[in-house]
Amino acid sequence: MPELSSPIYFDNAATSFPKPPEVAEAMHRLIREISLSPGRSAHRFSLAASRVIFEARELTADFFGCPDSSRVVFTSNVTEALNLGIFGLLAPGDRVLTTGMEHNSVMRPLRHLEKTRGIRLDFLPTDRTGGIDPDDLPKQLNAKTRLIIINHVSNVTGSVADLTAIGKSKGKALLMVDAAQSAGVFPLDMEGMSIDFLAFTGHKGLFGPTGTGGFLLREGLLIPPLKMGGTGSNSEQEEQPQMMPDCYESGTPNTLGIGGLAAGLEFIRSTGQETIRRHEERLTRLLLKGMSQIKGLTVHGPPASANRGSAVSLTMAGRSVSDLAFQLDRQYGIMARGGLHCAPAAHRSIGTFPQGTLRLSPGFFNTEAEIQAVVTALEQISTQS
C-alpha cells in the first residue's frame, strides 16, 4: 500500500496532474517578467503580452488543423465555449441531433433551449458501452437538422466517436465537437473531419492550467457573442467589433493561463502526441486486465481491445461508488472520482443511473507500478466484509 504522503492521482479526466515542468516555468516567467494586459497599450510589456496571446493562437490553430488562427477564440473553459456555440447557432424550431453520452455542459444548454426557444432535441442510438454507430447518422438527418453535437471521447466510459465518418455523413447540418476529453491525446483535424465548431479545454489533455479553453470556428460561420465590452480594438466605437477573434474576447484575457496552455501544446509537440496516446493506452489496458479477475467488479465501457480513452468506469457489488472513492483515497492514497461525473445522460445510456460509477482515469504521468497499486487496492477492498 502506498504512503499517503505520496498519493496516486487517477482523476485525469477531471484535470490532468501533474503538469509538465515547462508549463509551470512558462507561467512563472510570464507573471514575473511582463504585464498581463495585452492589446491595451503600446508599451513593451503590453506588446510582449500580445505576442504571447498571438503565438498561443497560432499554436492552437496548427494543432487542430485550422488554417486561420483568427478563427481561434480563447474562453475560460470548454463550458463557456460550448454555451457560446449552442446559444449562438440555434434558433426557434431548429433541430439538434446529439448522443446520450453528452456532458451537462451540452445537455443543460440544450434542455434550456428546448423550453425557451422550442428547439427539437433528438438522440443517436447508444450501446451499453457508450458507443454510437456513424451509419445511424444519415437515417436520423432531415431538413430541419441545424446542428449535430458529438462528444468525441466520453468522460464516463472512454468510448470514442468516429468523427471522420460523422463528418462525411453530416449533410448540410453543422458539426459541433466537444473535445474536452480528447484534445491532446487523440488527433483532431477541423478540415479533415469537416468540423464546424470545435470546443476544447486547456486543463486536461493539453496540460494547461485551469481557467483556459476555447473554440475554433469554421471560415464563413459567425455567431453572436455571449458578452460584449472592451477588446482593445476599435475603441472609438460603442458597438461590439465584428472581426474575429475580438468579437468573442471582451475583457482582459487570461494571458498567464493562455501562456501556460501554449507551453502545454509545446510539450505535446516535443513529446509526440502518439507517444502520449500509446502510453495512456498501455496503462488503460493493464488496468482493465488487472481488474478483470476481481470478483464482483463490473467495468462499464468498451473492452481493452477497443479504441478507447483512458476513463474507466466500474461498480463493485455491495458497495456504493462514493464509499469506494472514499476508501481508495483515505486508506490507499488513490484519488479517483465516484458519482455521475456531470453526465447523467451518459449513465442512463449505460445503465448506471442514478448511483453512477467509480471512475479511474490514468494519464501520461502515471506509471505501471501505480496501475498495479490500484488493482491491488481494489482486490483487497473486494474481499473485505
User: Cell numbers of 352, please?
Assistant: 448506471
Decide the pairing of beta strands 297-300 and 120-124. unpaired
Q: What φ, ψ does residue 26 adopt, rounded to 5°?
A: -65, -45
pLDDT along the chain (385 residues), means of 10: 70 98 96 80 82 96 96 97 97 97 98 98 95 95 96 98 97 97 97 97 98 97 90 81 87 94 98 98 98 96 94 97 97 97 97 97 98 97 89
Tell me the C-alpha distance between 333 and 304, whole Å: 25
Tell me if residue 74 falls in helix, strand or coil. Answer: strand
Q: What φ, ψ does residue 335 adopt, rounded to 5°?
A: -95, 120
pLDDT, residue 313, reads: 98
The answer to whether 181 and 154 have CB atoms below 8 angstroms apart is yes
pLDDT in tens, 59-95: 999 999 999 999 999 999 999 999 999 999 999 999 9
The answer to whether 259 and 35 have CB atoms below 8 angstroms apart is no
pLDDT, residue 85, reads: 98
The answer to whether 322 and 316 have CB atoms below 8 angstroms apart is no
The answer to whether 309 and 153 have CB atoms below 8 angstroms apart is yes
Tell me if residue 147 falls in helix, strand or coil. Answer: strand
Q: Which residues pair with residue 312 across a beta bridge?
A: 360
Listing from the earlier edge strand, what are the strands of the sheet with 337-339? 297-300, 312-316, 357-360, 337-339
For 150, how many CA atoms within 13 A lie in the half-sphere containing its CB?
33
Tell me the C-alpha distance between 302 and 281, whole Å: 13
The answer to whether 223 and 243 have CB atoms below 8 angstroms apart is no
User: Cell numbers of 230, please?
Assistant: 472592451
CATH superfamily of 8-19+273-383: Aspartate Aminotransferase, domain 1 (3.90.1150.10)
**Domain ranges for the chain:** 8-19+273-383, 21-271
Tell me the C-alpha distance between 344 and 58, whole Å: 36
Tell me the C-alpha distance between 290 and 313, whole Å: 14
- The DSSP secondary-structure symbol of 246 reads G
pLDDT, residue 40, reads: 77
pLDDT, residue 5, reads: 54
**Does 21-271 carry CATH code 3.40.640.10?**
yes
pLDDT, residue 2, reads: 45
